[in-house]
Each structure stands twice: as structure tokens, then as C-alpha cells.
Structure 1
Amino acid sequence: MSRIPITRGGYEKLKAELDKLRNVDRNEVILAIQEARGHGDLSENAEYDAAKERQGMIEARINELEYKMSLFEIIDISQMSGDKVAFGATVTIENIDTEERKTYTIVGSDEADIFNGKISIMSPLARAMMGKKESDDFTVQAPKGETEYEIIKIEFIEG
């Protein structure tokens, strides 16, 4: 199985989620199941059913995170530099038609958050930028059609 790239910050965030699931959420749901059992007949106990369902979701997420964490390759962005777009780069682009500028950091799929300017390395936008330099133009196929951008700035900033 191939390695999955992730930034140090993304890894730490998922590790914290895994720790919370194991040490807090799992214990809370066990207590909720025990309490619901005390209410009597389990066949018609909505609290018990809900707690068991939540337990299943918690265990599934724990398993998913444990598996993924075994495949992660932490990329130290603070050690990166260069003049080409690569994983971990923070890239400012400009829409050639509208002159609107946006800044995105290229991260792993598990840490992508478009609302905070983090896009997955697997996204069409990130893939179109890879290997480009400042002042290079590139085109992205979007649902509305093709959009052309220019790379304004490339930085490697941890965080």
C-alpha cells in the first residue's frame, strides 16, 4: 500500500481526534449503554439503540484512523523550498478573467478544508497547479467550464 502524504499539523489534528475517540468518546458511550440497560427492556429502548449505534460509529472511525495513520507520511513543510508548486505549498492564484485572487495550501485529502484555504492534493485545482512556477498560467476544468488562472506567489509556510 502506498504512503499518504500529510502535513505535521494535519497529522497532529487527526492524532488528537483518535486520542479523544479512544479515551473520551468510547468511555462516554459505554456509560450511556450501561445507563440505557438499566431502563429495562432492550427491545424497545431507544436510548440503548442510539448508544449502540454511536458506539459502532466511534469504533468504525477509530479503525479508519488507525489504518490511515499507519500509512501517513508526514511531510515537514518547514524543510521545503523551491520555485515550483508541490505538496505543502501555499499558492496565490488569480482568475485571469475576473482578476479575483485566492490563496490555497495544498495538503493531504484527510486534512483538506476549502473554507480554510486547504485543498486536497487530489483536487483538480491542485493537480493542475503541480509543477508550475510563479507567473505560469494553467487551466482547470470545472462544472461551469474551463477556468484559467495565473500563479502569483508560491510559499512553503508551516501551519
Structure 2
Amino acid sequence: MSKAFTKETDSDSDVEDDGAGDAASPLPAGSKNYMTPGGYARLRAELLDLIDNERPKVVEAVHWAARNGDRSENGDYIYGKKRLREIDRRIRFLTKRLEVAEITDPSVHHGSDQVFFGATVRYANEAGLEHTVTILGIDEADSAQSQVSWISPVARALLKSREGDVVKLITPAGAHEVEVLAVNYPLARPAD
């Protein structure tokens, strides 16, 4: 059978994927996809860049490679098609996530001592070791920058608590008590 009639099976499933090969964090059933205005803007900018810049460049490269003859041994063509599938997968993912995003501005809580979405919380564990985390949306949290998703165990333990409260944090290692030391929110950004 000709290669033209075979299905490419290189990750062609409809599983939600972030385009980089890692499965996306699923939203809990019945919950909303909370996101800060900044997180929404970053994801939207990435989507527009993929559509307006990245995808047309790859399509052009694939078109050029296809004109060079035998596609079965054409590395530029094969890589280009694979990259095009990755871009299209990421575009679908971002489109779905942005469609269901619930934009929540944490600056409305500026000055509050209660923990809500978007708060930066400093807390201490039982040993007195202090940690600072910012509670953000599933798609925008970056653990390398001390950001946690609002559905993470630490965020769930801290949400709705106030400065001075001691809350129970359930982890795989067991239950621990942590004390909320400080709660901060960003200042409201002036309208453009």
C-alpha cells in the first residue's frame, strides 16, 4: 500500500496535550478554569503567535520540502509535518482553555488579610520553616517560581484562611499544620 494512504500515528490522539508532550492538568469536574488577567493575556499571546507566526513558517517549510521529491526519506518534510501536528495540537488546547477561562482579578482583594485566588501567601510549617506561594490558575502556575494551582493541596488548605490562622495541610507524607503569616495581593493596574 502506498504511504499516501497510511495514517500517521505519531501522537494523533485527541488526548488533551499542551503541545510539548506533557499531558495537561485536567480541570476538576464541575469547576471553572480560573485565570488572572495576566495569565489570560500570556496564553492568548501564545495562541496568536502560533497562528500568525509559527504555523505559517512551518507550513511554508513543509510546502518547500514537499516540492523536493520523495517524501518518505525527506527529513525536512517529515519533521515539518510532525512540528505542524504539535502546533495544531497546542492551538486546539489553548483555544479550548481560553474559551472556558473565568478571568478573576486578584487586585480587588488588595489590602485583605484573607486568602483568595491570586493571593501571595507566606506561611510557616510546624518546624518554623517559611514558604511563600502565589495561588494561580491551572494553566498559569509555575512551581519553579513558587506559584501553585488553586486546586493544589497547599492552595486548598490556605484558601479562605486569614493571617494568623493555623490550617491543616494534607500531603502524601501525612497531615501537617501550617500557620498563615502574611497575605498580599497585587495593586490594581490602571486602565489603558
Match of 2:70 in 1: 41
**Unaligned ranges ≥5, structure 2:** 1-29
Output the CA distance in 2 between the equivalents of 1:11 and 1:141: 30
The structure in which a higher percent of residues are strand is: 1
Output the CA distance in 2 between the equivalents of 1:48 and 1:142: 48
- After TM superposition, where is structure 1 displaced by more than 4 Å over at least 4 residues in a row? none
Q: 1:11 aligns with which of 40, 43, 46?
A: 40
Paired AA for residue 63 in structure 2:
Q
TM-score, length basis structure 2 = 0.76
Output the CA distance in 2 between the equivalents of 1:3 and 1:96: 33
Instruction: Check whether the contact 2:166–2:180 (CA below 8 A) recurs between aligned residues.
Output: yes
Instruction: Check whether the contact 2:157–2:167 (CA below 8 A) recurs between aligned residues.
Output: yes
Identity of aligned residues (%): 37
Of structures 1 and 2, the one scoring higher in RCO (CA 8 A, sep 6+) is 1
Paired AA for residue 42 in structure 1:
R
Residues 132-141 or 18-27, more deviating: 132-141
Output the CA distance in 1 between the equivalents of 2:129 and 2:68: 59
Residues 143-152 or 108-117, more deviating: 143-152
Instruction: Check whether the contact 1:2–1:71 (CA below 8 A) recurs between aligned residues.
Output: no
SS of the residue 1:132 aligns to: coil
Please state how far the C-alpha of 1:143 moved relative to its aligned partner: 3.3
2:87 pairs with 1:87: no
Output the CA distance in 2 between the equivalents of 1:25 and 1:78: 34
Q: RMSD of the alignment, in Å? A: 1.7
Please state how far the C-alpha of 1:85 moved relative to its aligned partner: 1.1
Match of 2:163 in 1: 134
The structure in which a higher percent of residues are helix is: 1
Paired AA for residue 33 in structure 1:
V
Residues 37-46 or 13-22, more deviating: 37-46
Deviations 1:59-97 (A, max 9, x none): 111111111111111111222243321111110011221
Output the CA distance in 1 between the equivalents of 2:183 and 2:107: 14
Q: 2:133 aligns with which of 100, 104, 125?
A: 104
Paired AA for residue 123 in structure 2:
I
Instruction: Check whether the contact 1:104–1:118 (CA below 8 A) recurs between aligned residues.
Output: yes
Instruction: Check whether the contact 1:22–1:62 (CA below 8 A) recurs between aligned residues.
Output: yes
Instruction: Check whether the contact 2:113–2:182 (CA below 8 A) recurs between aligned residues.
Output: no
Match of 2:26 in 1: none
Paired AA for residue 43 in structure 1:
S
Paired AA for residue 149 in structure 1:
V
Paired AA for residue 48 in structure 1:
Y
Match of 2:175 in 1: 146
SS of the residue 1:92 aligns to: strand
Instruction: Check whether the contact 1:107–1:118 (CA below 8 A) recurs between aligned residues.
Output: yes
Output the CA distance in 1 between the equivalents of 2:130 and 2:34: 27
